[in-house]
Amino acid sequence: MDNSEFNIIVVDDDADLLESITHYIADDGFYVIGACCARDFYRYLGNEPFDVAVIDIGLPDQSGYELADYVRRRTDLRIIILTAHSEIGERVKGYDSGADLYLVKPVNMEELMAAIASLAKRRPPYNQHPSSMFDGTWHLCLSTRRLISPTGLDITLTGKEFDLVLLLAKGDGKPVERRQLISSLHYPENEFGGRALNELLYKLRKKIIAQTGTECPIHTQHCVGYCFTGSISIR
């Protein structure tokens, strides 16, 4: 097997370093994609299969440890964490999150290439895996009060936002009446309560779209109420 048969993805928010690493990997014959943030990383993972992920820790929108943990729980990609943190506690955290290797910057490129080649060859063929790591399901986490998009992006919710999503999630895709939402959210049952619900929905929808880059799954059912149209699990 030659290197051209393997797909590599690298995520690092340092544009110059990302370009340098991806060029070096490409020159060694691998197919490589570079991402500068968690959102792009998840988007690329949803579009095509990869063999090895090289993940920086200090990303602008999500910790690299969280990316590694998410990838490890849902795929069999090999994971290399690449970071400036050399402390033993950070190394342990990296391996606990699912990393196969933990390399400290500045990394020797020959060592990085040897690690990528070794890990890539350990991954079973693509036809032994699902075509995608994402199943289109949203997740509402009760302990952390976060909504997690189908591509793994976390949305931290306010208390009212969490209560609203939970009410809609329990509706099983069926619309929940405005009156019921106003009452359950402890808003006054008058025009002020209606305005408060409208403002809450507006801000939540805007937050979901801004943080995930996808359509908001909270839809209005005219003259009835609101529903969560996507598949959602509560955990």
pLDDT at 94: 83
- Considering the segment(s) 137-234 as one domain, its CATH architecture is Orthogonal Bundle (1.10)
Mean pLDDT of 131-156: 76
Domain residue extents for the chain: 3-128, 137-234
pLDDT tens digit sequence for 87-96: 888 888 888 8
> What residue type is assigned to position 167 of the chain?
L
Q: Which of 19-33, 41-55, 161-175 is the least confident region?
A: 41-55
* Each residue's pLDDT tens digit, 145-186: 888 888 777 788 899 999 999 999 998 888 999 999 999 999
> What are the strands of the beta sheet with 137-141, ordered from one edge?
154-156, 146-148, 137-141, 231-234
Residue 215's pLDDT is what? 83
At residue 129, the pLDDT reads 42
Q: Is 148 exposed, middle or buried (0-12, 13-18, 19+ CB in 10 A)?
A: buried
- pLDDT, residue 143, reads 75
Rg (CA), the chain: 21
Q: Which CATH superfamily is domain 3-128 in?
A: Response regulator (3.40.50.2300)
CA dihedral defined by 137, 12, 9, 77, rounded to 10 degrees?
-60
pLDDT digit string (tens) for 218-235? 999 887 899 998 889 887
Mean pLDDT of 130-139: 63
The residues, ordered by sequence, that sit 6+ positions from 101 with a Cβ below 8 Å of its Cβ are 79, 80, 81, 115, 119
pTM score of the predicted model: 0.58
- In this prediction, residue 123 has a pLDDT band, given cuts at 50, 70 and 90, of low
User: Peptide bond preceding 106: is omega within 30 degrees of 0, i.e. cis?
Assistant: yes
Alpha carbon dihedral 41, 42, 43, 45, in 10-degree steps, equals 90
**Through-space distance between the first and last CA atoms of the chain, rounded to whole angstroms:** 42
